[in-house]
Structure 1
Amino acid sequence: MSLGIDIQGLTVRYPDVTAIDDLTLRLAGGKIYGLLGRNGSGKTTLLSLIAAYRRVREGRVIVDGQEPFENERLTQQICLIREAGDVVIDGDSVGNILRRARLLRPTWDDDAAERLLELFELPRRRGVSKLSRGQRSALGITVGLASRAPLTMFDESYLGMDAPSRYAFYDALLEDYMEHPRTIILSTHLIEEVARLFEEVVIIDRGRLVAHEDTDTLRMRGAAVVGPAVAVDDFTAGMTVLGEQRLGGTKSVTVYGDIGEDARRVATDWGLELSPVALQDLFVHLTKGDHA
């Protein structure tokens, strides 16, 4: 089971800033989405509203055709794991945290939880207060994946983990998603590290939607052009350049913008290699501006 999301004219205002600005977005169920945005872009606010942690004041948030706020049947099917570690209570043990999660989630899978405890080397009897930051993150990840919630969202919830543990999480998430399809949203700053998981990418900036596209389609908006330096310079003249590197007589230039079939044939004739642009480079370009 997977839940779709329909957001219409969503706006969230604080006294000194508009966190979400007339956002309209529709996400079909049964996909892995990457939610990207700089600090203060509104990602956490958006996920909190979808998870019914707060009431919508302007606009609408619809999940599976219903408003989630104060909707117990629906919120049991939505799991949000935040970087702050909402599931972690200092005075409790790992085992008690998992038992409480089982009571809240009708789709909970004990076997999945046990496998993840072993994967991340989490002692069931250890008190949460004695866990490292990385272990606390791993505990949140375990709850999120084992919940098997039809809508599961991770908001930077793996930042406390070291690189091997993060990659173990990515592999576990993909394997579990293939066996039990559902809607998953990953909010992250580690874009290139996790980009392989994204089926679609949503980019927001200052609370506004910047892009929502299939990942491959988005990456084809630009190209990395590699070849003899003179030919690369001639080919990319007049294009929006995101970055460049040079090694001897060879040059690589990353450009943003559509490159048509005629231009691609020219590139081939000139001995140039074109490849999709890195998602992180596109993200930086699409959200550039005066950010704190």
Structure 2
Amino acid sequence: MRVEVAGLTVRYGDVTAVDDVSFSLSGNKIYGLLGRNGSGKTSMMSALAGYRRPIGSVRLDGVPVFENAAAMRQVCLVRHAADAADKGDKVSQVLEYGAAWRDTWDNAYALELVDLFKISPKAKVGELSLGQRSALGVVIGLASRSPLTMLDESHLGMDTPTRYAFYDTLLSDFMAHPRTIMISTHLIEELSSLLEEVVIIDAGRLVLQEEADVLRSRGTEVTGNTADVDEFTAGLTVLSEKSLGRTKSAMVYGALEDAQLVRARQLGLELGPIALQDLFVHLTEPVGGKR
């Protein structure tokens, strides 16, 4: 599913949550929607799902999503821990609702996921732990097999082993059933290997949209003798530094030129990639105390 957003603005009274954002998603990829708290991620996803009338344009495969029942049935947005489910409903009922709402629903897969995450179909939603409710949200998102599936921090309530099981399941199901998946997360490094492309927003505005590997290539970790590292990084944008004895490691932002690569070899420096999360922090760092 192609997603085309033009001039999207979302306001709550005097507060502008999303400010004139434009981008497009080509489809059949796993996208990461990255932003600090209050950056507008949830508001943007709500607009993409057709939950609110947009200022600007949100089109899915060329048609507006708002007040378009056919388009909205092709979208699944899971916000946090299955928050659309009534606490008095049983898990089995929630799965029945999913099957009734979505033509693409795979009930056999839903039951497989419920078993994987150790959720009793007979349990009431209100009786589930936070981690189980988060897992139920993931079940709804993945089993929907919606052409546009969005998971808004839906995995944060899970413990580490369950999150890793989710990541493995997400990737294997995406490979078997390609679709457009967007995930908003603060656990950037845990998910970074899954992300093919990232959309970064800050204070409601688009910072960048780029393939994850291209973004990673913007930064380099430089390691070696302290004096040599200091010489090499002079004049470069240094994100952070660490020292241990005579050895120093510095993370720099910006592509290195051929002459710089040659100089690094002459100095005996080791060059390596830096974490996507470190680049995200740099790109959304407040300037002069303001964002």
TM-score between the two structures when normalised by the length of structure 1: 0.96
Cα distance in 1 between the residues matched to 2:82 and 2:267:
53
Partner of 1:210: 207
Provide the secondary structure at the position in 2 that maps to 1:122.
coil
Inter-partner Cα distance in structure 2 for 1:99 and 1:269: 65
The amino acid that maps onto 1:245 is K
Contact 2:81 2:136 in 1 (8 A): no
Distance (Å, rounded) in 2 between the aligned partners of 1:149 and 1:102:
12
Q: Secondary structure at the match of 2:256?
A: coil
For residue 244 of structure 1, the aligned residue among 241, 245, 250 is 241
Select 1:256's aligned residue among 253, 256, 281. 253
- Deviations 1:164-191 (Å, cap 9, x if unpaired)? 1111101100000000000000000111
CA distance in structure 1 between the aligned counterparts of 2:89 and 2:177, rounded to whole angstroms: 30
In structure 2, stretches of 5+ residues that fail to align are none
Give the conservation status (yes or no) of the 8 Å contact 1:203–1:212.
yes
Q: Distance in 2 between matches of 1:88 and 1:193?
A: 27
Question: In the aligned structure 2, how far is the partner of 1:230 from the partner of 1:278?
Answer: 24
Alignment of 1:44-123 (within 5 A): 44-56=42-54, 58-123=55-120
Query: Deviations 1:81-139 (Å, cap 9, x if unpaired)?
Result: 00152332101000000011011110111121111111100000011111001000000
Query: What is aligned with 2:145?
Result: 148
Report the counterpart of residue 267 of structure 1 in structure 2: 264
Q: Which residue of 2 aligns with 1:39?
A: 37
Post-superposition Cα deviations, 1:152-208, rounded to whole Å, max 9, x if no partner, equal 000001111101111110110000000000000000011111111100011001111
How far does residue 20 in structure 1 lie from its aligned partner after superposition? 1.0
1:229 corresponds, among 226, 250, 258, to 226
CA deviation map 1:216-251 (0-9, x unaligned): 110111111111111111100111111111112111
**Contact 1:79/1:147 (CA < 8 Å) preserved in 2?**
yes
Q: Does the CA-based 8 Å contact 2:81-2:137 persist in structure 1?
A: no
Asked whether the 8 Å contact 1:88–1:136 carries over to 2, the reply is no
Letter matched to residue 216 of structure 1: D
Q: Secondary structure at the match of 2:57?
A: strand
Match of 1:17 in 2: 15
The offset of 1:53, in angstroms, is 0.8
> What is the rounded CA distance, in whole Å, between the counterparts of 2:172 and 2:84 in structure 1?
23
Correspondence for 1:8: 6
* 1:161 corresponding residue in structure 2: 158
1:176 maps to which residue? 173
Q: Distance in 2 between matches of 1:165 and 1:103?
A: 27
Q: Name the TM-score, length of structure 2 as normaliser.
A: 0.97
* Sequence identity percentage: 56
Aligned length: 289
- Stretches of 4+ aligned residues off by more than 4 angstroms: none
CA–CA separation in structure 1 for the residues paired with 2:109 and 2:145:
9
Given that 1:87 and 1:97 are in contact with CA atoms closer than 8 Å, whether structure 2 keeps it comes out as: no
Contact 1:88 1:140 in 2 (8 A): no
- How far apart are the structure 1 equivalents of 2:125 and 2:238? 48
